[in-house]
Amino acid sequence: MTAAPAELLIDRPATADGAALWRLAKDSKTLDLNSSYSYLLWCRDFAGTSAVARGADGTPVGFVTGYVRPDRPHTLLVWQVAVDSAHRGHGIAAALLDGLTARLAAEHGVTDVETTITPGNTASERLFTSFAKRHGARLTREVLFSAELFPDGPHDSEVLYRIGPLTDSHAH
């Protein structure tokens, strides 16, 4: 567990956190909201590759969900990042990403991070660009899923951000 800004605790999610993560994703207004069931499963099956920031009462106020890619075992794919609106602007998302990647570098030898961002999501673009700089890593971008691949109505293209290799010159 890592200390985070504003006396928050960075921890692994537990199944009981699934509902809170679903609410944070819903309230973000930018993330694709998955079923509540998927957040419960995520907190059970991918807790080891995800992180939550907890307030003083233990309630999650931010999260990063991710998984290690089966065909690239040194690559963490970051699925979603969300921080409660009352806690934004305090570096919580950056602390979550840094804490998670440090843990996964130590536990699994993770050296690279991938995520997808829809064009115009400046908060995510800034988060991952500054993450790459902090970690002395190269950042490349390419369209991973173009808009026409999505079957459920209008959806922006998803741009793949590849960051790596990470160096250990970042601050903890």
- For 149-167, write each residue's pLDDT tens digit: 999 888 899 999 999 999 8
In Å, how far from its chain's centre is CA 75? Answer: 13
Q: Please write the tens of the pLDDT for every residue from 129-139.
A: 999 999 999 99
In Å, how far from its chain's centre is CA 85? Answer: 16
Distance between CA atoms of 59 and 11, rounded to whole angstroms? Answer: 11
Distance between CA atoms of 61 and 166, rounded to whole angstroms? Answer: 27
Residue 26 has pLDDT above 90, yes or no: yes
Q: Please write the tens of the pLDDT for every residue from 35-48.
A: 999 999 999 999 99
Residues 91, 96, 100: CA angle, nearest 5 degrees: 150
% of the chain at pLDDT higher than 90: 85
Question: Does this model's pTM top 0.95?
Answer: no
Nearest to 76, CA basis, from 111, 41, 48 = 111
